[in-house]
């Protein structure tokens, strides 16, 4: 590959608090971008490209980069960062990147970017966390649900998902139900050297379904056009979620296909907010028991550029989202492994979920990324299980 | 200009700002209007309102004020008590 570098000076300086967000969006600007760096002051971007570009192409690429920056940074309101818990300084015994060891042990196998199989250690570790999450759900008498991996396009359209997160969507389709088309596929289908299937798009049926990006949405659609019982609804489910992250896909830290356990609350504002807070306090005890190093702080969802500035500012102002950010000692950084979310009456209004008094229901959820929390745990405690907290050594049995 | 006239003028300008931000007719902007009362005044609409207030009244909206300016009346009181809002 004949790599090329392109330096760009942002039309407006990128505020320091937005550098990470802008950087993550640069992955979606152009498929010829291999990597991107933003200077600490936010006044310079260096792109690494697959090949040198002609002048006209370079101008078009620069224009797209500037569009991202202006859309996200111009007039951006600095978020109000609120830290609810800070246990990042808890001593943990491991300091190196667990990924090479996981590969060496055959504990993970990469099938494609962002798609991994997990071996026995990681599976047992996830099961150990799952037991704790299920205990949390049981403490709220949450009813168990199983949700599909697919989700209808019309569902996501109804809650504005296409505008907010178009970049991370994953689409599902199938061959048109036509014998000639199916026969032709069976005889000729093959992948090229890049893994691309050599099938014309017109052989596929129109897209009516996507791979689900979240667990709790399914519950909200289940409750659509209904009046809730007086006591509200509390549910729990685990499910596959899909968020395409382009160049940002990275080991178990950022997967395309991952699993989330959620505890979901639907009811009055007080019901949702109180339960969200109780859940946080109960998880604080769980994390203390296992010696987990983490912080809980306000955050925003990764809205796409057109909606980012407004939606992120709104989430921040109303403190709608708090992330559980686990310490990754090997890179002196943190990783979001879960979140405590409140959606106000957004789903209640858009899906006509009503309280007994006729007003729109409020919703919230507590979500845990299972692969991420297992990875973060190994990053903090390593592979010598005799050095793990006694309560986590259960997975040896 | 009397206080009453100023207040009335301010209220009219708030109505215009909200009408533009939410893209609804002026007569739908009533003094008791609040966040969530109109489908247009959702999270995105609210941020449009904040940007219009900055533009119309020369005030700087920050993360703290966004969460408090959730009704016509709250906006009116904020702008009355905010010097640049009352005079610009």
ipTM attached to this prediction? 0.76
CA-nearest of A77, A309, A70, A79 to B59 is A77
Q: Which pLDDT belongs to residue B1? A: 45
Q: Which pLDDT belongs to residue A391? A: 86
Average pLDDT, chain A: 94
3-state SS assignment for residue B4? helix
Tens digit of each residue's pLDDT (9 = 90 or more) over A110-167: 999 999 999 999 999 999 999 999 999 999 999 999 999 999 999 999 999 999 999 9
- With contacts defined as CB-CB under 8 Å, which chain B residues touch A79? 63
Q: What is the mean pLDDT of residues A26-49?
A: 94
Q: What is the mean pLDDT of residues A324-348?
A: 96
Tens digit of each residue's pLDDT (9 = 90 or more) over A285-334: 999 999 999 999 999 888 888 788 888 888 888 899 999 999 999 999 99
Q: What is the mean pLDDT of residues A349-359?
A: 96
Q: How confident is the model at residue B3 (pLDDT cuts 50, 70, 90)?
A: very low
Inter-chain residue contact A349 with B36, CB threshold 8 Å: yes
Inter-chain residue contact A346 with B67, CB threshold 8 Å: no
CA-nearest of A251, A284, A242 to A379 is A251
Nearest-CA residue of chain A relative to B51?
Answer: A75
Question: Hey, how many other C-beta atoms are within 10 angstroms of the C-beta on A7?
Answer: 10
Inter-chain residue contact B43 with A314, CB threshold 8 Å: yes
**Cα B68 → chain centroid:** 11
Question: Hey, how many other C-beta atoms are within 10 angstroms of the C-beta on A355?
Answer: 21
Contact A296, A83 (CB under 8 A): yes
Pick the CATH number of A4-73 from 3.20.20.60, 3.40.50.1700, 3.30.70.60, 3.40.50.300: 3.30.70.60
Q: How confident is the model at residue A55 (pLDDT cuts 50, 70, 90)?
A: confident
- pLDDT for A19 beyond 90: yes
- Which of A164, A314, A341, A355 best tests the B interface by mutation, with the highest count of B CBs <10 A? A314
Please state the three-class secondary structure of chain A as a single string: CCCEEEEECCCCCCCHHHHHHHHHHHCCCCCCEEEEEECCCCCCEEEEECCCCCHHHHHHHHHHHHHHHHHHHCCCCCCCCCEEEECCCCCCCCCCCHHHHHHHCCCEEEEECCEEEECHHHHHHHHHHHHHHHHHHHHCCCEECCCCCEEEHHHHHHCCHHHHCHHHCCEECCECCCHHHHHHHHHHCCECCCCCECCCHHHECCCCEEECCCCHHHHHHHCCCCECCCCCEEEEEEEEEECCCHHHCECCCECCEEEEEEEEEEECHHHHHHHHHHHHHHHHHHHHHCCCCEEEEECCCCCCHHHHHHHHHHHHHCCCEEEEEEEEHHHCEEEEEEEEEECCCHHHHHCCCECCCCCECEEEEEEEEHHHHHHHHHHHHCCCHHHCCHHHHHHHC
- pLDDT for B55 beyond 90: no
- Residue B34 in contact with partner chain A when CB distance is under 8 A: no
- Across the interface, of A77, A79, A311, the residue whose CB is closest to B44 is A311
Q: Which pLDDT belongs to residue A36? A: 94
- Residue A17 in contact with partner chain B when CB distance is under 8 A: no
- Across the interface, of A75, A313, A360, the residue whose CB is closest to B63 is A313
Q: Which pLDDT belongs to residue B88? A: 32
- Across the interface, of B43, B48, B62, the residue whose CB is closest to A77 is B62
* Domains along chain B with CATH numbers: 3-87 (1.10.1200.10)
**Domain extents in chain A:** 4-73, 83-166+213-396, 171-203
- Which of B43, B55, B65 best tests the A interface by mutation, with the highest count of A CBs <10 A? B43
Nearest-CA residue of chain A relative to B50?
Answer: A310
Q: How confident is the model at residue B2 (pLDDT cuts 50, 70, 90)?
A: very low
- Residue A349 in contact with partner chain B when CB distance is under 8 A: yes
Inter-chain residue contact B61 with A77, CB threshold 8 Å: yes
Q: Which pLDDT belongs to residue B87? A: 35
Inter-chain residue contact B66 with A345, CB threshold 8 Å: no
Q: Which pLDDT belongs to residue A80? A: 80
Report CA dihedral (B17, B22, B26, B29) to the nearest 10 degrees: -90
> What is the β-pairing status of strands A233-242 and A143-144?
parallel
Backbone φ and ψ for A195, nearest 5 degrees, come out as: 90, 10
- With contacts defined as CB-CB under 8 Å, which chain A residues touch B43? 310-311, 314-315, 344, 346
Q: What is the model's pTM? A: 0.90
**Cα A337 → chain centroid:** 9
Tokens standing for residue A275 = 């339960």
Query: Which fold is adopted by the domain A83-166+213-396?
Result: BirA Bifunctional Protein; domain 2 (3.30.930)
Nearest-CA residue of chain A relative to B48?
Answer: A310
Q: What is the mean pLDDT of residues A376-390?
A: 94
Q: Which pLDDT belongs to residue B85? A: 45
Inter-chain residue contact A313 with B48, CB threshold 8 Å: no
Q: Which pLDDT belongs to residue B44? A: 81
Tens digit of each residue's pLDDT (9 = 90 or more) over A75-84: 777 888 899 9
- Across the interface, of B43, B50, B63, the residue whose CB is closest to A311 is B43
Q: Which residues contact B84 (CB under 8 A, 6 or more apart)?
A: B57, B58, B59
**Can A4-73 and A83-166+213-396 be said to share one CATH topology?**
no
Nearest-CA residue of chain A relative to B60?
Answer: A77
Q: How confident is the model at residue A73 (pLDDT cuts 50, 70, 90)?
A: confident
Q: Which pLDDT belongs to residue A276? A: 98
Q: What is the mean pLDDT of residues A211-222?
A: 98
CB-defined contacts A:B, below 8 A: 47
Q: Which pLDDT belongs to residue A1? A: 60
Of chain A, the percentage scoring pLDDT greater than 70 comes to 99
Contact A43, A58 (CB under 8 A): no
> How close does chain A come to B66, measured CA to CA in Å?
6
In chain B, the largest separation of any two C-alpha atoms, in whole Å, equals 36
Which residues on adjacent β-strands are paired with residue A36?
Answer: A47
- Residue B14 in contact with partner chain A when CB distance is under 8 A: no
Q: Which pLDDT belongs to residue B61? A: 84
Tens digit of each residue's pLDDT (9 = 90 or more) over B56-78: 898 888 888 898 999 999 999 99
């Amino acid at each position: 590959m004949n790599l090329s570098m392109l330096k760009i000076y942002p039309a407006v300086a990128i505020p320091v608090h937005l550098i990470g967000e802008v950087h993550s969006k640069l992955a979606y600007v152009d498929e010829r971008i291999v990597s991107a760096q933003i200077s600490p002051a936010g006044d310079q971007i260096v792109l690494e490209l697959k090949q040198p570009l002609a002048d006209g192409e370079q101008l078009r690429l620069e224009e797209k980069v500037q569009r991202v920056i202006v859309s996200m940074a111009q007039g951006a309101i600095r978020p109000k960062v609120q830290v609810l818990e800070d246990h990042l300084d808890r001593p943990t015994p491991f300091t190196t990147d667990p990924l090479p060891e996981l590969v060496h042990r055959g504990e993970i196998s990469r099938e494609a970017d962002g798609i991994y199989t997990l071996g026995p250690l990681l599976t047992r570790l996830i099961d150990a966390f799952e037991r704790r999450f299920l205990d949390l759900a049981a403490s709220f008498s949450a009813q168990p649900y199983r949700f599909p991996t697919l989700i209808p396009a019309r569902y996501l359209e109804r809650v504005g998902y296409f505008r907010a997160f178009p970049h991370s969507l994953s689409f599902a389709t199938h061959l048109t139900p036509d014998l000639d088309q199916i026969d032709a596929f069976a005889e000729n289908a093959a992948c090229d050297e890049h893994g691309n299937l050599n099938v014309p798009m017109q052989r596929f049926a129109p897209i009516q379904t996507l791979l689900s990006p979240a667990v709790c949405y399914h519950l909200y659609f289940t409750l659509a056009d209904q009046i809730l019982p007086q006591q509200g609804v509390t549910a729990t489910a685990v499910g596959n979620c899909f968020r395409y992250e382009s160049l940002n896909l990275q080991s178990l830290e950022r997967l395309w296909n991952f699993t989330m356990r959620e505890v979901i609350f639907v009811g009055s504002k007080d019901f949702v907010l109180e339960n969200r807070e109780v859940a946080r306090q109960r998880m604080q005890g769980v994390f203390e028991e296992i010696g987990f190093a983490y912080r809980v702080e306000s955050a925003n969802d990764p809205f796409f550029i057109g909606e980012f500035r407004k939606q992120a500012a709104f989430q921040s102002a109303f403190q709608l989202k708090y992330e559980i950010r686990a310490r990754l000692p090997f890179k002196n950084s943190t990783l979001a492994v879960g979140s405590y979310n409140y959606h106000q009456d957004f789903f209640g209004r858009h899906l006509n979920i009503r309280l007994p008094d006729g007003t729109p229901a409020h919703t919230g959820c507590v979500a845990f990324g299972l692969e991420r929390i297992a990875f973060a745990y190994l990053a903090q405690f390593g592979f010598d299980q005799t050095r793990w907290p006694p309560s986590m050594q259960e997975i040896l049995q | 200009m009397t206080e009453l006239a100023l207040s009335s003028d301010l209220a009219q300008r708030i109505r215009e700002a909200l009408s533009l931000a939410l893209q609804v007719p002026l007569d739908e902007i009533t003094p008791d209007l609040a966040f969530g009362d109109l489908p247009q005044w959702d999270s995105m609409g609210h941020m449009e309102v904040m940007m219009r207030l900055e533009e119309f009244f020369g005030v700087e909206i920050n993360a703290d004020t966004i969460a408090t300016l959730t009704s016509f009346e709250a906006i009116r009181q904020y702008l009355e008590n905010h010097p640049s809002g009352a005079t610009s």
